[in-house]
Structure 1
Amino acid sequence: MPQSFYEPEQLADTRPCSALRDDLKFCIQNTDCYKKEKKTPRECLLSNHPSVPLECHQLRQSFFECKRSILDNRQRFRGRKDYSAITPKS
């Protein structure tokens, strides 16, 4: 039986805005709204639940702008803003 082996680089998510998506998922999954109250991530963000930090809302806005830049023809010529440029340097 043939076996296929994948390089770690091939399994990485290469979709646009994937880093923002992953950070947003991680941020929401660590809230009490998601863990204890068993609400969906969308419900937690839209209800402005107190356990959802401001960072999650900012990541949501950045993710929205990243996805919108994919469709914006002006941004297509200039290039999407890199996620590392959006995050503050420590």
Structure 2
Amino acid sequence: MSKSCKGLAMEQIKCLSESDCVRVEKFIQGCAGENNPSIPSECVGLRETYFNCKRGLVDMRAGIRGNKGY
């Protein structure tokens, strides 16, 4: 995992582990990929930001400049 996206991944895991979905289902994998209404909007925003960060790692247009490092 890239250093620039690692902080976002940790924040996303922390946010999901504190959500109601994980408290009921008892595992993060079932809640991370779904658009579940019990997931807070902050976690959804973190997921989108993390995906954009990972997308920036493989985007060849930013190859010279590097990832933005959210």
Interval containing the TM-score (normalised by the shorter chain): 0.7 to 0.9
- Report the RMSD for the aligned CA atoms in angstroms: 2.1
Deviations 1:11-64 (A, max 9, x none): xx87340000000000100011102332x3232143322221111111111111
Structure 2 counterpart of 1:52, from 27, 39, 42: 39
State the partner residue of 2:63.
76
State the partner residue of 1:21.
9
Rg comparison, structure with higher value:
1
Distance 2:68 2:34 in 1: 29
> Percent identity among equivalent residues?
37
Structure 1 unaligned blocks of 5 or more: 1-12, 84-90
> With structure 2 as the length reference, what TM-score do the two structures score?
0.79
> With structure 1 as the length reference, what TM-score do the two structures score?
0.64
**Structure 2 residue 67 is matched with structure 1 residue 67:** no
Distance 1:21 1:77, change over 3 A: same
Structure 2 unaligned blocks of 5 or more: none
Relative contact order (C-alpha < 8 Å, sep 6+): which is higher? 2
